Chains A and B, each alone.
Chain A
Amino acid sequence: MVPILGRSLILLALLAASAGSLLALATGARPSVAGWVWSRRLAYAFGGLMLLANLTMEYALLAHDFSVGYVAHVGSRSVPAWVSAVSLWSSLEGSILFWGLVLGAYVALTTWANRDRYPEHMPWAVGIWLACGAFFSFLLAGPAQPFATVANPPLDGPGPNALLQNHYLMVIHPPFLYAGYVGMTIPFGFACAALFAGKLGHDFLRPLRNALLLPWIFLTIAIVLGGWWAYEVLGWGGYWAWDPVENASFLPWLTATAALHSALLVERKGVLKGWTVTLIAATFLLTILGTFMTRSGVFNSVHSFTQSAIGPTILAFLAVSLLFSVALFALRVDTLEAEGSLTPGVSRDAAFLVQNLLFVLFTFTVLLGTVFPLVMEAARGVQMSVGRPYFDQMAVPIGVALLFVMGVGPALPWGRATGQQIQRALVPPLLGATALTLAGFLLGVRSRWTLLALLCGGFTAQVTLSEMILPVRQRMRAHGEDILEALRSAGRRGRRRFGAYVVHAGAILAIVAIAVSSTMGSSKEIQLREGESASLGAYTLTFVKGEVVQEPHRESVRARMEIEKNGQRLGTLFPAMNYYESQREPVGTPAVRSGLTEDLYLSVHNIDARAGTVGLLVLVNPMVAWIWVATAIMALGGLVALVPPLRARALAARMAAAESAPAIEGLQ
């Protein structure tokens, strides 16, 4: 019963998406009122059907209906209800279904929000979105089949992957990742629409930019949540290893960040339209490539991915999307005429260009290192991987250069700067640069790259902060407002700009924290018997005893570790090995004592509670907590920049009614 219901919903979604896509594209080519009305209705229908299909699966998971293929595969009566609920995205077929839900929601809501706007663009965009929707419905109807009927339903299932149950971060990371990944379909549709319509004017930039910014925020959070999860769960003591799955989420983030910036040049100068569209298309293609890389098992072995039809189907979709994008770009890019030009010289414009180039280089080097092993294995049958040092060697200089440009750009004026302007812009921040570097040096930083990162970080931090305060100061001077009044009105007028600088501030903090944490840490592996102690730096660890703790869904064997720092007792940590009913092998759970300056990280390699022995990896990681804080700041800044457009109309009306605002124009 449930499998048939689920399959019917998927088939209806496939029907709605393909019909809607064709109709919307036809409406784009030959505008008609009825065509546009029905395109919209089919877009809403697609979203609704995907929602129903997902609810059906949730029902099956919670009701333990093992006649549904996916439930038989990941469900279990022995796990708590919340684990059953989140099992939706714990395995391949379910996660594609969840993808459909997120895509449906994005498409339906964006269509609804813009139902009366951009009549030249919207039908094309809806056509592209629904084409993607049709593909994922097809994937669900054919190769993936989460609603396959199980002929002889088992009484109980194996339960989801133990790693999912082991930490709450694994539960919240995938939804954020999907919200970021799938959301990149929306700007792609807008970009294609701009090419089809042959127009990327000022009015259409706003939806394009916002459509890019929202998934960018999600993706930023998702990438760092992934790193946080690795840090809290995997037990090797780090948060980023440049493994293919991580790179898959990082690559579209890089191009999306570049596109967000180049869109600003389109807005300010009317140039780089084709380039911006290219970056957005690249972002979308990289999300599909990432999906292929992580979903097809191709990284386990090039030869194993054909065992399921899902991998090849996604690969085919990637190829078609790539060909489509290239062809559309080649045929239509000439229609996006530049409305201005860039003046050569040292300026903020030039800094934007350099920033874009650096991001593209970054994307390219990460992509090269990620796909190289695949190409080698496919071409020559050699199994290998590209070691972490490659990525570090490439990423560190590019990252530091980006940090520097992030300071130089905002300090410089638009257009061409005179020598005097340049001097006035770039000399004062040297104070911040010197201060931060000196502080780092006094605190023991000796790594050259870290010192360089501190130098650029200090420079950029000073520029960013003064740019944040600038509009307030200007208002206070120009209008004689007191500081609170000035803050409020500046916040109202320049929210987007202010939000962007908040993101920058977060980025500076993140880069500095990454530089410090990856060069200033220390680690040690120790094997202890009950009562024995070991020390690392200022810390002394005593293994009191091994304990076995019974929990409802697992058995935990943990080490009671007394922690002292400089002879002062800090508390007790319990690094553990968890045993799950569904899995014979244990899952280690490190214990992390997070602090503002450093984390103490204990990870069990082996433990025997009866014999009273434990083998531990101990690390002291400085500043890691700041990476999480920095990400929160970045996400918050993104939200600040995103919110005004929602209220833009009301504000615009109020602004027109209120005083004429002369000095504000120049601030944006």
Chain B
Amino acid sequence: MSAPSVRRRRTRWFAAAALAAAGSAVLAIAVSGIGNNLVYYWGPKELRAAGSKAMGATIRLGGQVATGSVKPSDGLSSLEFDVTDGSALVHVVSRGVPPQLFRDRIGVVVEGTLTTAGIFESRRLMVSHDNSYRAPADKDVDIRALMQSTEGLDPASAPRVAGSAAPGR
């Protein structure tokens, strides 16, 4: 074998090794990136059960606004209420303007974090369009299904491709 072909083979090996190294580096970055950016979908019961583990994580909490629990705190652009699944309660503080349909006893999904004081700080409040939504009490809240009936702030729940997640289907 002539020298250039040996050199070429060596280059090829080197290239393959470099690719493998780069690939695994990217894989490692991607996996840790996913691990750090997970958004958990939990109901009040599961959130309570997770206890201190839930603190600091990004959570989508789903459930029903507990009867009579809504109170605007400072002015109109911040409010407090309780989210329930029928058995457990979580106290939520929401900053920002509430959506049109927000009221007592409606299904909601709030995204935010649980503080050390046990209060859920919501950055995003999404309201279910399903008027007949009721807290399931005996089961866990199916937040994906609940999200499907919310729309507005969260684009994931709205039909991008017509019919893909059309409400009422």
Contact = CB atoms under 8 A, between A and B. Distances in A.
Interface stretch (A36-44, A120-128, A386-394, A620-628): A386-394
B20 interface: no
A361 B39 CA distance: 23
B132 to A, nearest CB: 11
A602 to B, nearest CB: 12
Contact of B155 (A243, A297, A300, A301): A243
Given A300-B145, A527-B77, A161 B167 contact: yes
A533 interface: no
Interface residues of B, number: 56
Q: What band does the interface of chain A fall in when counting residues whose beta carbon is under 8 Å from B?
A: 35 or more
A91 B160 contact: no
B143 A383 contact: yes
B152 to A, nearest CB: 6
A365 interface: yes
B97 A368 contact: no
A615 B95 CA distance: 12
A383 B142 CA distance: 8
Contact of A385 (B22, B39, B148, B166): B39
The majority secondary structure among interface residues of chain A is mixed
A245 B34 contact: no
A361 B33 CA distance: 14
B159 interface: yes
Nearest to B75: A527
Nearest to B23: A361
Contacts of B11: 344
A588 B29 CA distance: 39
B153 interface: yes
Contact of B163 (A92, A158, A300, A525): A92
B101 interface: yes
A95 B162 contact: yes
A352 B152 CA distance: 42
A170 interface: yes
B51 interface: no
Interface stretch (A233-241, A252-260, A280-288, A562-570): A233-241
A584 interface: yes
A302 to B, nearest CB: 8
B155 A615 contact: no
Interface in B84-112: 95-102
B156 interface: yes
Interface string A411-442: 00000000000000000000000000000000
B16 interface: no
B169 interface: yes
Given A243-B160, A605-B99, A368 B155 contact: no
A527 B76 contact: yes
A212 interface: no
A387 B164 contact: no
Interface in A586-629: 586-588, 604-607, 613, 615-617
Interface string A246-274: 10110000000000000000000000000
B164 A294 contact: yes
A12 interface: no
A536 interface: no
Given A390-B37, A606-B97, A161 B160 contact: no
Contacts of B58: 387
A585 interface: yes
Given A386-B37, A387-B38, A577-B100, A170 B164 contact: no
A348 to B, nearest CB: 17
A164 interface: yes
A526 interface: yes
A118 interface: no
A164 B168 contact: no
Contacts of A361: 26
Contacts of B1: none
Residue of B11, B29, B161 most packed against chain A (CB within 10 A) = B161
The list of the 4 closest CB pairs from A to B, nearest first, reads A615-B97, A383-B41, A243-B156, A390-B37
Interface of A: 89-92, 94-95, 158, 160-161, 163-164, 170, 173-174, 177, 226, 229-230, 234-236, 238, 241, 243-246, 248-249, 294-295, 297, 299-301, 304, 344, 357, 361, 364-365, 368-369, 372, 382-390, 393-394, 525-527, 577, 583-588, 604-607, 613, 615-617
6 contacts: A245-B159, A245-B160, A299-B165, A357-B19, A365-B26, A384-B40
